[in-house]
A = this chain, B = another copy of it.
Amino acid sequence: MSWKPVLPRLPILQWRHELDRQALVDDALAGVIVAVMIIPQSLAYALLAGLPAQAGLYASIVPLVLYALLGSSRVLAVGPVAVVSLMTAAAVGEFAQANTVHYAEVALALALLSGLMLTVMGLLRLGFIANFLSHPVISGFITASGLLIAASQLKTLLGVQAGGHNLPEMLAGVFAKWDQVHSLTVGVGLGTLVFLFAVRSQLKPALRALGLSPRAADLLSKLGPVAAIVVTTGAAAALDWHGQGLKTVGHIPQGLPPFTLPSWDLALWGELAMPALLISVVGFVESVSVGQTLAAKRRQRVDPDQELVALGAANLGAAFTGGFPVTGGFSRSVVNFDAGARTQLASLITAAGILLATLLLTPALFHLPQATLAATIVVAVLSLVDIPILGRTWRYSRPDFLALLVTLVLTLLQGVEVGLVAGVTVSLALYLWRTSQPHIAEVGLVPGTEHFRNVQRHQVLTAPQVVSLRVDESLYFANARAIEDRINEAVAREPALRHVVLQCSAINDIDASALESLEAIDERLKGAGLQLHLSEVKGPVMDRLQRSSLLQHLSGRVFLTQYQALQSLAPELTSVDINENRSHS
């Protein structure tokens, strides 16, 4: 239970030595490919977060550089990602109107807070906080987020105005405007959707059939969104779709990312603290799991504490350069890895590419239809939706299923924050509930061995004067009473009983409440003329018991093994057993 703060390191000092000519070429190629792929993605996620499109570009430059210098993963690519953008929209939307200056300031404050939290968690080695997001909660949350994001794009695909931060609100908002659907927008959106699904399912096999390598086919088919954007933007510009009511990205200022100051309103910070913490933890979990998966493929390691510091720096960078909360993204990192990136030099080249785009390319994005971006988002996030996990989890564990279901349903119905908090609460409560109802087995001797097994599962030997109970859980305050009840019951059932033996092989700790219960049990048994014995007490537990007065007052003894306990308390049983054993051999 001891920890020491970590000093931030500069992993770049390690990998710069690995940069030979081949690595330089590989990284440069991967960097360019990723830059091309994530420009549309960054624009789309900025709109999803309720921000102007350029915020997505800005959030992909300085944060990417800072992560490249500090991160322990060689291939992770940092920037706006779908789930964090959704959480940003939900959090900021409570304090400001979308597409206002104040909204952007609140988003910067959120990135700042998130950056500070991640950095502090990293320096103080508090990354274990993320462990309390259980796998079912994450699964439920990610699936619900995918559905929410897809639903949030409906209004853009249909060309209507609508809002809402949960599924019923979003659907109601869209259906209420059903008569205002803009057919040109629907045409562009649906066309892009169909195209993207076709690319995803058809292009790769087709390219393979043309003789391309699997990796090249895979990478090319991931450029589908770029192709869709080029085509629809060109068409919009040529046919003046903007003039016909189609919403486009519009004017994006040309130039370097601006230097921005987040809101310093401390009352606002207080209210943003909880969303910032959730965004930090979710972003960290997503980023580290991507990083670890990719690192394992090359037998590299990712250091979670260093990751916290690096992601913290990336978010601080976003806060001061017109961005919004960022984290390591799955799709961009996979593209980076598949394109052959060796080191974070690839990310530096990506950042340079995006910087070039903000300097030169932004006028060309004026006619980019928002419906096209919405379609790319829908296709991207549907891969987050994992419905079969419901069945798998149901089969494996009902409590885990409950945690998953609560998170999924509440995220859809009440929004991301309520869903996450409820999921964590339910999984902690279920864990406490389970450990408070420990499995307690009455055990007996397996004939011919020194092993003890559950009397209800095995043919074993027992003596009427001895009951041996094995508690399959550490003893602590929440289950101390259950053990008292179980022993009371055993004593009441068996009138010949003289000895109660607690086999402690699965007891990893006994806290002060459980100690008090053991003393009460011992006192009660003593009063009734019975003795309480312990067996197979683990070293650390015994060390601790010796600092209490239990062992001095204990009516019975402490046996090294359960077999020795039975030998001593019911010798006739073990001698019978040994005879049996001999006659067998």
- In the bound complex, residues from chain B placing their C-beta under 8 Å from that of A1 are 399, 433-434, 437
Q: Is the CB of B397 within 8 A of A508?
A: no
Binds B, one of A56-64, A160-168, A341-349, A474-482: A474-482
Taking a contact as CB atoms closer than 8 A, the residue among B301, B438, B482 that contacts A492 in the complex is B301
* Min distance, Cβ A514 to any Cβ of chain B, angstroms: 8
User: Given A1-B437, A492-B301, A524-B296, A397–B136 Cβ distance below 8 Å?
Assistant: no
| CB-based contact B512/A396 at 8 Å | yes
A135 CB-CB contact with B under 8 Å: yes
**30 CB < 8 A contacts A-B:** A1-B434, A1-B437, A128-B478, A128-B482, A131-B478, A131-B482, A132-B432, A132-B436, A132-B477, A132-B478, A133-B477, A134-B476, A134-B477, A136-B513, A296-B523, A296-B527, A396-B512, A396-B515, A396-B544, A397-B511, A400-B512, A400-B513, A404-B512, A428-B432, A431-B477, A434-B509, A439-B540, A454-B539, A472-B508, A506-B506
- Give the oligomeric copy count: 2
* Shortest Cβ gap from A338 to chain B (Å): 17
Residues of B within 8 A of A477 (CB): 131-135, 137, 427, 431
Q: Shortest distance in angstroms between A468's beta carbon and chain B's nearest beta carbon?
A: 16
Contacts of A488 in B (CB 8 A): 301
Hey, what's the 0/1 contact readout for A391-429 against B, CB within 8 Å counting as 1? 011011101100010000000000000000000000110
> Given contacts A296-B524, A393-B512, are A431 and B506 in contact (CB under 8 A)?
no
A478 to B435, CA, bound (A): 14
In the complex, chain A residues 185-229 whose Cβ is within 8 Å of any chain B Cβ: none
A299 lies within 8 A of chain B by Cβ: yes
- Complex alpha-carbon distance, A464 and B100, angstroms: 64
Q: Which of B135, B492, B540 contacts A512 (CB 8 A)?
A: B135
Closest B residue to A453 by CB, please name it: B539
Apart from the given pairs A133-B477, A301-B492, A397-B544, 19 other A-B contacts in the complex at a CB distance below 8 Å: A128-B481, A132-B477, A135-B477, A135-B512, A135-B513, A292-B520, A296-B524, A301-B488, A304-B481, A392-B548, A396-B512, A396-B547, A400-B511, A400-B513, A428-B432, A431-B432, A454-B539, A457-B539, A473-B474
A528 within 8 A of B: yes
Q: How far, in Å, is A177 (CB) from chain B's closest CB? A: 38
Bound complex: CA A482 to CA B127 (Å): 11
